[in-house]
Structure 1
Amino acid sequence: MAERRLTEKQSHIPTTSPVPMDNLRNTIAWTLCGVVLILWGLRLWGYGTITTLTTIPSVLLIAWGLAILTWHGGTNTRPQSTRVILVITLLLTLVGLFVWSYAQVITAPAYGTDEMAFDQFAAHLWLHGINPYGRSLAAAFSRYQVSPNGYTWTLSGHPVTLLSYPAQSFLIYVPFILLGWHTQVAVGLNVISWAAALIILFWAVPDSSKPLAIVLASLSVYISYAVGGVTDALFVPFLVLAARKWDQYPFLRGWASLWNPIWFGMAMGIKQTPWIILPFILIGIAFESHRRLGTWRAGIWPVFRYVLITGTVFLIPNVPFIVLNPSTWIKGILTPLIAPTVPEGQGLITLSLFLHIGGGSLFAYTILSAIVLLGLLLIYFLTYPRLKAWTLLIPSLALFVATRSFGSYLVMLVPAAMMSLATTETYSSGKLPTSVKIVLSGIGFVILTSVLAALVIPSPMKLNLIGLHTTGQLATVDQVDLAVTNRTNRLLHPHFTADMSGTLTAFWNQISGPAALQPHQTADYVLAAPNFYSQPALTGGFQMVAFTAHTKTISHTNSYVPSTWHVALIPDAINHPVPYGQSITITAEILNRMDQPVHVNNIPIYLGQIIYAQRGLQYGQAIINDGYPGETPVTATTNSRGEATFTIRDVHPETDPVYFEANLVNNHDYYPYGYSQILPIRFSQ
């Protein structure tokens, strides 16, 4: 009977079934989308005191994100309701993008890169009847407040000042300038272009992928590039359109057969990045024609037609400049490919920039990128259609090994790849023949060998940082002393700069040291920072870098962190007035970079005082320890716990607070470092 009752009870327990995989994917996509909307709201929240424009969108985005997390793309929702929710989500995302971008501009209106400044300036020159190709655009630096750290530098230490892109890169600005839009045109068009890419992607992909399109377009890397000055956003919407059903191109007729190559030609006319995608598209078109029509000859005409239309669309905006001066136009559009610019980026070159692996031949990286591109084309050709879904993303691998491999080169092709993945036909193919596998192994071996060759050539110079000079309380390095050894049998002409967290500064001025370094010669160099932007902060690490323009090499010092200790004042704030004549005790404690106490004794700590008055700096008149009124700085040594004690009092009331700050001093170069927080004290009656 007990077993029967147990069985009867069990029969009333509700049963569950596994969640279908499609529903699970849908739930995950909507969950990510909800989180992204909340993040948009949080991005806007902090700007409420700068512009109230952000407050309402912030609340709406967070509320809608929470609602989506609760709803999580419920499977019982009617398709019409789901589409309404999708459209509302898209519109709110666009509101977040535009409002956040506006907040960024009013916070930091200066243009972040030279490319954005050059494009807008070139548009202004063209409207005044001046051919921008071959003309110095250096005036754009000051006109758009571009920091020297945003310049593109050559290996000899000179900034690139010539237009380096096809004509559509700046002609796209012309209609908007003619309509009277002059301020922040470049940033505005970047953001509008990125919004257009999102709308196109959202419209074209299946409903199940639309939340992921919103997630992709909302990633910080993309929106930061759009506002920060990376003009790749301008070609993304055209490339996304060109990627839509590109494999159907051979079978389209009439106007429908024109759009894919037209969009691709427009993308190629803005920047060089899409250029390397074209061979992959053409190979794919040829294979698709062969698969359906049965002969390779049938694929020749679609390929020829695609090239003809794309080339025509690319050339039409450039015709006036080709006619005016073909040599300056060719030199301009090929500058990113042939100019001896400094290596930068987040690709393979990072190993030479930070780990000091290789660096003896930057030309080897150029050869490597060409080999990788050719190898990828062969792999794509031999294995088609296995890599078809990633046709528009594969070229990023070639950019990854180039000397200039910025993150924008590596991620800006992803939206187009997503469009291709969502709209092209996938099908399986048979096993690869043994002969093809052997060829693929050979290609892989050649690529690997080329990578090793680029990484094993050692840098030609050994650089040692033997001294530095700082700006004191400004806490930056403005001069360094280097010992440089030429380890080769060649005459080298070094040009020096600083690398601060991956950003190469303007090249430093050579105060002393030979212009040419003889084979195996060691010489001392004194270098001075050319401007404030080039001065590394004492609180961060940096390395000095030497380039040679003729031999195209890179050498560096080891990374140097001037300050690993710093001082903290306890208490960190005094929130009430202190009657004059009354003493107050402050403890200065030495901490490491993780804010852990450093137990060292007999270390001098220096406490200074100053008044930051409305009309300028004034000397404080407080008495620190046993000093005289106004004495600054006053020194106290630490005890075994790494703490020094200061007693402060003032003999008369002050109309302004007295600001106190403590620091350490380097025992070798005698520069101050490790500054504490600033502690204001108001002495009253």
Structure 2
Amino acid sequence: MAETRLSPTGRQAPSKASPDGAPAQWHPDEAPAQWHRVLTLLADISLFIGTRPLWAQAASHRLVVAAIVSLCYASILVTGVLTLVVRRGRTLARLDLCVLVTAVTLAVCGFVMYHSGSDESVLTTQAAHEFLAGHQVYGRPWPWLFGHGVALTATMNGGYDYTYGYPPLTLMLTAPLLWIGHGPAAAITVSAGALILGAIVMWRMLPVQWRSAATLVCLGFGLLPAYARLGYPAIVACALLIPVVTGWPRMGGGGRGDWLRAACLGAACAAQQLPWFLTPFLLAGVYALRRGELGPRAAAVAVGRIVGVAATTWLLINAYFIVSEPRSWISGIALPLTQKANIHGQGLVGLALYFTDGSDRLTWYSHASLLLAVGLLGLFVLFVRRLGPAATVLPWCAFYVATRSQDGYYLMMTPLWLAAAVTAPWQSFTTAWQPRPAFLRGRHKRGARVAAAALLLAPTAAAVTLAVTGTPPLRMDVVGARRATGAVTELTVRVTNLGGTALAPHFTLTTGQGMSRYWSIAAGPATLPGHGSASYRLLPPDGRFTLPKAGTRIRVRAVSATPMTLSSKDVHLSQLSP
């Protein structure tokens, strides 16, 4: 597709893209393309997001930071003016650098002001301490870390997960920095530093005219810096994946770049579990591209070389834990897949959480997620020439139908979307190999291909249908409440098991999104037999449940782990108020 740029006379002259889809050659001494100006301006404007609260916080007790933020405001304004008036591409490229420097400065200021962390950074810091002390890291609960504002990961068995559940690279990077500050400061430094470094690497690797897009997506919107300040290991993984996916269609061609990309891929997989889902798509894409050019044998060798380097890197990082605590290590890094954490997220599981009274088929959401991942990988292999540019987006679609479908799974990997959009255009895949059995090459090949795609996605559709049509297995009725001033101190619920399977229910009251802490059972059976009924006397976790304001939706919920079920019942404030 041709783009337009201003000629010295002020007219728009066509600037053709190269045949392989790469951006047109940049001419630094000519007038920049108008879209380049707009992109730089958007990146500049995005730096306003979240900057005023940062300045307001700093102005109260960190005047040096407030002064730096004020200078960043000046930089944003001056850069905005210059972006619209400069006449040469070289000058606009320097303004792109100015926007990046301003964004990095604001990110550092944000880290200085906000570093209280989250459950992930607290766990990573504790794991780093244990690692340095030579103690077991995986499978050890640290309940004293939680509470006081640190979120808990509740599980469907009525308990909480207090253990470390990520591959070890992030904690190993945190260990040498434990001298920094107190609390989770070291873990936050690692994630914030990784994001800044990843943004700089991406800025440098992208074509000159696209560099401000890296600033925009990594640092400009304020989303990723917020996750970095919480110490999420996924930020480290994303930073390591940036050099992998930038220009990834060139992987497998040999040379030092291949080795570096493969090593970064292995390191990313050793930092967090999300890269595990992306890796099969990248490897399948590389095989298709190289087979289209070099044949099957050379393509297999190229992919094998990448897998070998990545696996070696991953094993070297994990080696200490494989030797010292093999069983707890394998259980720990697989924990997010096996812990049966409470359902949560913005995906289809919200139907069971908010729009219905629950489901007795929650496990089918997990099945649907796995089936969708496999189905999308199959589609990617069959239609790589069409789907190749979406390789960095497709894996995350599977999380939309999972039992935990937080938007963070998508947000934290968005820099990879941009890197692929700029450096892996559709023209890169025109010669990629696609498997074409006889039934996909016949007279009715179009219909056969549609049928093949439908067949690959049919298991997911069936699993989703089973999941969303589930019904709550328990009927609950609030029959009594002990009240205090503005609070409830005890709740009595009559529960009937509508199914034939015995369930071990665990109860909570919620007033918003997600699930609250469990209420303890003061009286009532631990297991409710099929078609049985019982009364449960429930006590709130802090001794009292403060009644919300009128109009707030209150729900009593019961979950069970085996099978995974959710039952909910709306409770009216009049039932709880004196």
Same-fold call, TM cutoff 0.5: yes
Q: Secondary structure at the match of 1:39?
A: coil
Cα distance, 1:547 vs structure 2: 0.8
- Post-superposition Cα deviations, 1:229-266, rounded to whole Å, max 9, x if no partner, equal 4331121110112112222121122x332101100111
**Post-superposition CA distance 1:53-85 (Å, at most 9, x none):** 3422332233333334434444x5323322222
- Aligned partner of residue 49 in structure 2, secondary structure: helix
What is the aligned partner in structure 1 of residue 472 from structure 2? 459
Distance change >3 Å, CA 272–CA 301, structure 1 → 2: same
TM-score (norm 1): 0.73
Is the 2:358–2:568 contact (alpha carbons within 8 Å) kept by the matching residues of 1?
no
- 2:162 corresponds to: 161
The answer to whether the 8 A contact 1:358-1:459 is kept is yes
Which residue number corresponds to residue 112 of structure 1? 118
Q: 1:20 to 1:504 in 2, by over 3 A?
A: farther
Partner of 1:616: none
How many angstroms does 1:313 deviate by? 0.7
Q: Is the 8 A contact 1:347 1:401 kept in 2?
A: yes
Q: TM-score, normalised by structure 2?
A: 0.86
Report the CA distance between 1:366 and its aligned residue.
1.4
CA distance in 1, matches of 2:455, 2:280: 21
1: CA distance between counterparts of 2:42 and 2:472?
46
**8 Å contact kept, 1:247–1:285:** yes
Question: Which of the residues 560, 566, 570 maps onto 1:548?
Answer: 560
Q: Is the 8 A contact 1:505 1:534 kept in 2?
A: no
Superposed, which structure 2 residues align to 1:122-521 within 5 Å?
122-141=127-146, 145=148, 147=150, 150-177=151-178, 182-183=182-183, 184-217=185-218, 218-253=220-255, 255-293=256-294, 295-356=295-356, 359-427=359-427, 429=430, 433-434=445-446, 435-466=448-479, 468=481, 472=485, 475=486, 477-521=488-532
Structure 1 residue 25: deviation in Å? 2.7
2:91 to 72, 81, 85: 81
1:659 alignment partner in structure 2: none
- 2:25 is matched with none
Paired residues of 1:36 and 1:65 also in contact (CA < 8 A)? no
| Distance verdict in 2 for CA 1:532–1:54, change over 3 Å | farther
Please tell me the residue identity of whatever aligns with 1:547. V
Give the match's secondary structure for 2:141.
Answer: coil
* Mapping 1:526-545, distance limit 5 Å: 526-531=537-542, 537-538=548-549, 540-545=552-557
Shift of the 156–64 alpha-carbon distance from structure 1 to 2, 3 Å rule, reads same
Contact 1:467 1:481 in 2 (8 A): yes
Provide structure 2 residue ranges, at least 5 long, that are not aligned to the other structure.
Answer: 1-8, 16-31, 435-439
Summarize deviations over 1:106-142 as a string: whole Å, max 9, x none.
Answer: xxx3x422x3222111111111111212322334337
- Evaluate the alpha carbon distance shift between residue 164 and residue 536 of structure 1 in structure 2; reply closer, same or farther with a 3 A threshold: farther
- Matched AA of 1:112: S
- Tell me if the contact between 1:61 and 1:92 (Cα under 8 Å) persists in the aligned partners: yes
C-alpha deviation, 1:181, in angstroms: 5.5
5+ long unaligned stretches in structure 1: 1-14, 563-665, 672-685
Q: Which amino acid aligns with 2:112?
A: Y
Asked if the contact 2:505–2:560 (Cα under 8 Å) also holds between the matched residues in 1, the reply is yes
Contact 1:547 1:553 in 2 (8 A): yes
The DSSP-based 3-state class of the residue aligned with 2:386 is: coil
Moved more, 528-537 or 36-45: 528-537
The question of whether the paired residues in 1 share the 8 Å contact of 2:83 and 2:95 is answered with no
Q: Is the 8 A contact 1:476 1:535 kept in 2?
A: yes
Query: Given the superposition, is the C-alpha separation of residues 262 and 421 from structure 1 closer, same or farther in structure 2, using an over 3 Å criterion?
Result: same
Identity of aligned residues (%): 22
2:113 partner amino acid:
A
- Supply the distance in 2 between the matched residues of 1:31 and 1:176 (Cα, whole angstroms): 37
Q: Quick one: distance in 2 between partners of 1:314 and 1:543?
A: 45
Matched residue SS, 2:507: strand
SS in 2 for 1:235: helix
Matched letter for residue 461 of structure 2:
L
* 1:94 aligned residue: 104
Which position in structure 2 is the counterpart of 1:58?
A: 69
Helix, strand or coil: the match of 1:457?
Answer: coil
1:163 is aligned with what amino acid?
Answer: Y
Match of 1:46 in 2: 56
SS of the aligned residue for 2:156 comes to coil
Amino acid at match of 1:313: T
Cα distance, 1:171 vs. partner?
Answer: 1.0
Distance in 1 (alpha carbons) for counterparts of 2:271 and 2:260: 17
CA shift at 1:192, angstroms?
1.5
Whether contact under 8 Å (1:43, 1:100) holds in the other structure is: no
Q: Secondary structure at the match of 2:252?
A: helix
Q: Answer 1 or 2: higher relative contact order, Cα 8 Å, separation at least 6.
A: 2
Moved more, 234-243 or 478-487: 478-487
Instruction: Confirm or deny: 8 A CA contact 1:240 1:419 kept in the other structure.
Output: yes
* Residue 437 (structure 2) aligns with: none
Letter in 2 for 1:445: A
> Deviations along 1:508-540, whole A, 9 cap, x unmatched?
112333323233334333322212797564464
Q: Which residue of 2 aligns with 1:566?
A: none
Read off the aligned partner of 2:187 and give its amino acid letter.
Answer: A
Deviation at 1:188, TM superposition (A): 2.1
| Cα distance, 1:305 vs structure 2 | 1.1
Alignment of 1:531-610 (within 5 A): 531=542, 537-538=548-549, 540-558=552-570, 562=573
Aligned position for 1:675:
none
* Cα 1:16–1:300 shift into 2, 3 Å: closer
Of 88-97 and 267-276, more deviation after overlay is shown by: 88-97
Equivalent residue for 1:4?
none
Cα pair distance change 1:85/1:16, threshold 3 Å: closer
- Cα pair distance change 1:20/1:323, threshold 3 Å: same
Larger relative helix fraction: 2
Q: In angstroms, what is the RMSD of aligned CA positions?
A: 2.8
User: What secondary structure does 1:298 align onto?
Assistant: helix
- Structure 2 counterpart of 1:52, one-letter code: L
Please give the secondary structure, in 2, of the residue aligned with 1:517: coil
Report the CA distance between 1:314 and its aligned residue.
Answer: 0.8
C-alpha distance in 1, partners of 2:126/2:545?
A: 25
Secondary structure of residue in 1 paired with 2:530 = coil
1:153-197 per-position Cα deviation (integer Å, ceiling 9, x unaligned) = 2211111123212121311112223x6665411222222122122
Q: Provide the C-alpha distance between the structure 1 equivalents of 2:422 and 2:547, rounded to a whole number of angstroms.
A: 46
Distance 1:247 1:504, change over 3 A: same
